[in-house]
């Protein structure tokens, strides 16, 4: 699942997310992760930082240990017969 769909699915108010640069550097991502107060979905401690495009411009999104894996599996998952899935070892 991509970050946009995850946020929409959980009814996250995008207006409350902090503005982000259009193309953040790794250092900006790392530094902002340290500043995030909690997962945008559930409030737990953040494991990853993302930038999403919104109608108001790019916004920072922090995700926790529970919500990060679903987003990562979408990025690295193999595509079979037009469907995306994750392979776990």
pLDDT digits (tens), the chain, 89 positions: 678 788 888 899 988 899 988 888 888 888 888 887 789 999 998 888 888 888 888 998 888 888 887 676 555 444 443 333 333 32
∠ at Cα 10 (7, 89), nearest 5°? Answer: 75
pLDDT at 1: 65
Give the CA count within 13 Å in the CB-facing half-sphere of 60. 22
pLDDT at 32: 84
Q: What is the largest CA-CA distance in the chain?
A: 41
| CA–CA distance, 62 with 68 (Å, rounded to integer) | 9
Q: What element of type H or E holds 47?
A: strand 46-54
How many residues does the structure list for the chain?
89
């Amino acid at each position: 699942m991509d970050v946009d769909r995850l946020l929409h699915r959980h009814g996250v108010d995008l207006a409350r997310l902090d503005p982000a640069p259009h193309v953040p550097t790794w250092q900006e991502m790392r530094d902002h992760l340290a500043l995030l107060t909690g997962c945008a979905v559930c409030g737990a401690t953040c494991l990853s930082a993302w930038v999403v495009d919104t109608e108001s411009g790019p916004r920072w999104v922090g995700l926790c240990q529970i919500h990060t894996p679903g987003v990562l599996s979408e990025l690295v998952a193999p595509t079979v017969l037009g469907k995306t899935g994750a392979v776990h070892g």
